[in-house]
Structure 1
């Protein structure tokens, strides 16, 4: 597993978390595109990463359906040297 999320991965995770808390549902791919300024393909790549890192459960076959496990980045430990 990766130690830290990238800025855009963290942003998408926060948007998903805020939608879940405020609207009682997860955002659609199109809503994520609007909120982040990313393309549909870019959002799907980020969702793949968040799935792999076990922040969400999501499948490309049902792109607008996801289950959220964690809405904030886990505490990571930076190791030196950064690679």
Structure 2
């Protein structure tokens, strides 16, 4: 799941919450790589899947960069898990 929490008074860019296997992690960049997902979630070298709001799964390529888009509560949510 990706949620935007914007803190304009702190002089920082958008802040995201990334759901990796049901646990939320803070993320400050607008993109995240497959390697960063693994590192952030403490995942092994297993394939990483992106799961959209419609419960569609897709395996991420090793060199893939996922664009995280700020949005409101009704926007699509992205979560990641091991393959």
TM-score by length of 2: 0.38
Determine which structure has the larger strand proportion and give its number.
2
TM-score by length of 1: 0.38
Determine which structure has the larger helix proportion and give its number.
1
